[in-house]
Amino acid sequence: MKMSFSFPRYWILLSGLLMLLGSNCSRKSIASGDITDNELPGIPHSKVKFKDMLGVNAFEWNFGSQNNPTEDSRFFKPFSNVRHYLDWRQIESEKGKYGYNPTPRGGWKYDEIYEWCKANDITVLACIKTIPDWLLETYPEEKRDVENVPAVFGADLSDPASYIDFGKLAFQYAARYGSNQDVDPSLVHVEPVPHYNPNKKIIGSGLIQYIECNNEPDRIWKPTKVARQTPSEYAANLSAFYDGHQGELGHDVGVKNADPNMQVVMAGIATPDPGYVQEIIDWCEKYRGRKPDGTIDLCFDVINYHHYARNRETENNPTKQRGVAPELSNAASIAQQFVILSNGHTNSIPVWNTESGYDINQNSYQKAIPIKNKSALITQADWILRTSLLYARNGVSKLFFYMLHDVNANSTTQYMSSGFIDKESAEWTTKPSWNYLQQAKEILGEFYYQSTISDDPFVDKYVLDDRTIYSLVVPDEQGRSVDYELDLGNQTKQVKIYQLDAEAISAQSVITSVKNGKIKLTVTETPIFVELLR
């Protein structure tokens, strides 16, 4: 990845390197046993459940149909978080006329989908993206693209006021789905249509906790000044969306003016560059100032980026471009850079990755590959679960995979075959990756990552009250296995060993006695889990 370094970018990377070097311990010393039961050096960890690494991207139609909004919701079972790709035009197809249940465009019933998610302990991140036709029509015909900047054509993109319409949408959405039931009803607008099933005004339903301000504003593949925003331009956009630029744009603009408790997630940036976020922080300090406690008045509550583990940035030959095992990519170092940025410059707000994953189609540059006797489907399952383990290990608070359904398994285009379920004949069927995450959620979902005691194989310790589970995996892509002796301490007499099953929804398990506090295991590139039995 080519990157031009401004001072903030350079300082972030340098400070991160100094933190890692200053710990006086290397990853090899962890693996050799010199360090035991300690976090990786230099990277503070928040207390995050493993299930927070089990998120997925999806559209409303992935849940079901207009008449039965949740008929396919069973496919969300392995996931604890859903990033709802929500097109602005769905809920405001005409300017100032809002609808949600059903939506004015498409007739989707968001209330019912979100109610189902809450009842099933699935957290929704509403990613409001693209622009509606009435805004698109302000652009010259040859410049029209639904992914254009959410401001009228010709507007000053560095001025928060240019994004007032997007900020008004944010207010309306947060008033309905946030937790604040004291919003002034005169500020809330809902069109009572269609006549046979009219939308009703609802305030403070408490169904949504997180909202994301657009998707990938740094679109390097799109034209500047039309679809792509610089960090300062996106910061102005965020400020309007967050709180109406500290209330200057009106009482009915911005998420926080409707619900101070709703968390605003900055858009996942396509190029995972901490410097982009640093420039947003710098803009906030300049134009929003500091709070009474001395911290910068940020216009976001969560740092967000996208990263797919692959060799495309270093491999110029298109025929050799592919996905790579997460541990062999730069995924960990990039995650660490964002966590260091957060800890040093934002009072340690959460860091999320809302897009990651692998394709199955062998002509995609994001493909998972067959390895020895494993098909690409099994490798995809291995690498996806190992991605979850990697991000838990490196201090990221939530992870979302792209995406629930295959768009087209036969397509060679990247991300078209990265789904967890595919359609064979007329029926949707689950892939091994779906089964692996379902099993991992059952085994490890409620447990918290505590420490890493080895890095080859990776041995991570997870805890929940007085219970302990270890995850073990070889971080490679050659079909390698290693013998490993796990030291469990003298108090452990038995363990339960879980082996994942690519064709089932539950893992296989066996209870084994422990001699002298240690157990010998054969560890492969498919994770195994060892639970201590007291």
Instruction: Indicate the pLDDT class of residue 534, thresholds 50, 70 and 90.
Output: confident
Residue 365: both structure tokens together:
């540059």
Measured at the CA of 479, the angle between CA 309 and CA 455, to 5 degrees, comes to: 65
Residue 146: both structure tokens together:
């639904």
Measured at the CA of 440, the angle between CA 438 and CA 445, to 5 degrees, comes to: 100
Helix (H) or strand (E) holding 91: helix 88-91
Instruction: Say how far apart CA 86 and CA 53 lie, in whole Å.
Output: 21
Instruction: Indicate the pLDDT class of residue 9, thresholds 50, 70 and 90.
Output: very low
Instruction: Say how far apart CA 179 and CA 434 lie, in whole Å.
Output: 32
In the predicted model, what is the mean pLDDT of residues 287-303? 97
In the predicted model, what is the mean pLDDT of residues 313-333? 95
Q: What is the pLDDT of residues 168-216, one digit of tens each?
A: 999 999 999 999 999 999 999 999 999 999 999 999 999 999 999 999 9
**CA trace torsion 313, 330, 279, 345 (10° rounding):** 180
Tell me the average pLDDT of the chain: 92
The pLDDT score that the predictor gives to residue 27 is: 33
The pLDDT score that the predictor gives to residue 425 is: 61
Could you give the C-alpha distances from 11 to 8, 42, 235, 298, 521, in angstroms and in order?
Answer: 5, 16, 20, 20, 43
Residue 95: both structure tokens together:
């300017």
Instruction: Say how far apart CA 20 and CA 15 lie, in whole Å.
Output: 9
- Asked if 459 and 468 touch (Cβ cutoff 8 Å), the reply is no
pTM of the model: 0.92
Domains in the chain (CATH in brackets) are 83-306 (no CATH), 453-533 (2.60.40.1180)
Question: Which residue, among 121, 40, 25, has the nearest Cα to 339 in the 3D structure?
Answer: 40
Instruction: Say how far apart CA 418 and CA 407 lie, in whole Å.
Output: 8
Query: End-to-end CA distance of the chain, in Å?
Result: 49
Q: Is residue 315 over pLDDT 50?
A: yes
